[in-house]
Amino acid sequence: MSDGNYHITGSDEAGWDVKRAGASRASAHFDRCKDAMKRGREMAGRNGVRLILHGEDGQILSNEAPPEPSAGSTLGRVAAAPKMVLNRIGSAFKRD
């Protein structure tokens, strides 16, 4: 697990851990998998990495890509900037 992604795994002490790949300790611990997934999605989305859910046997059950940045977010505005620049350049050369 040295890919920088977040992994949801069963905890040795019961419950579920959210752990960044390569980390020695869990970032968060929850009693319910649902709660671990919610927090894991937040953390993975904020860092632009995948969220991987492992079953109790360690097998991968799901592998979620990070969400696309929304237009209102800072990352969304940065991602949209090249398109806006091209639109402005293109409109400057349009003939009426």
Query: Is residue 20 scored above 80 in pLDDT?
Result: yes
Do 4 and 34 share a structural domain? Answer: yes
Verify that 58 and 72 share a domain, yes or no: no
Tokens of 55: 């079953």
What was the pLDDT predicted at 90? 56
Tell me 50's DSSP state: -
In the block, tokens 């979620």 appear at 64
- Does pTM top 0.75 for this prediction? no
Domain count, the chain: 2
Q: Indicate the helix (H) or strand (E) that contains 1.
A: none
**Residue 95, domain extent:** 68-96
Residues 78 and 44 in one domain: no
| Higher per-residue pLDDT: 53 or 13 | 53
Backbone angles phi, psi at 52, to 5 degrees: -120, 125
